Amino acid sequence: MPYNGNIKIINRGNMSYSESPIDERYRLLLLEHYLDGALEAPYKGFKKWTFVCPFCGSLSGKDYKKKEKKGSLLWDVRQHSWVFFCARKRSIECMNGKSFGNLISALNPALAEAYRRERWHSGTTGKGHNCRAPESVGCISTGSFGSMRSRSIPDSATNR
């Protein structure tokens, strides 16, 4: 598969999608450790993964219903990222689709913070991107709005 800088370009006939190495690493991690029974399938010229929904899969009464693969991870061309959808929609968590970052956050908040931190270091968070800034990066707090500057004046500056 050809590479274009840091983004992998995958051609599917006349359509192509680009997945960053960070998204690929976290997608594979989710598929291996958090999403039960994941299977790859073609979908409108792109890849799609189907799996047991992590939110409503255990809510079904019968064992065979619990194993149905109703959750999907689909490529969204507009967001240039993966999107989660559930066909069953029996839980409040899976009523609406989730962006890839929000899916990670719902499954494991600590992993989501690490994902946002990696995206922040690569410069792909905040306005114009599909991932918000992390809560803190090293000793720098990004605050609730992703701002790196402090709004308060340091005490040593006011005592001069």
Cβ-Cβ contacts under 8 Å for 99 (sequence gap 6 or more)? 79, 81, 83, 84, 130, 131
> Which two three-digit tokens encode residue 141?
């707090």
Mean pLDDT over 12-32 rounds to: 79
In three-state form (DSSP H/G/I as H, E/B as E, the rest C), the secondary structure along 63-111 is: HHHHCCCCEEEEEECCCCEEEEEECCCCCHHHCCCEEHHHHHHHHCHHH
| pLDDT at res. 151 | 44
pLDDT tops 70 at residue 143: no
Q: Give the confidence band of 158 by pLDDT, cuts at 50, 70, 90.
A: low
Lowest-confidence pick of 15-19, 45-49, 73-77, 130-134 = 15-19
- Rounded CA-CA distance 102/110 in Å is 12
Instruction: Say what percent of the chain tops pLDDT 90.
Output: 34
24 neighbors 75 (Cβ within 8 angstroms) = no
**Digit-coded pLDDT (tens) for 99-108:** 999 999 999 9
Q: Give the confidence band of 149 by pLDDT, cuts at 50, 70, 90.
A: very low
Mean pLDDT over 118-135 rounds to: 86
Mean pLDDT over 76-83 rounds to: 86
151 neighbors 144 (Cβ within 8 angstroms) = no
| pLDDT at res. 156 | 52
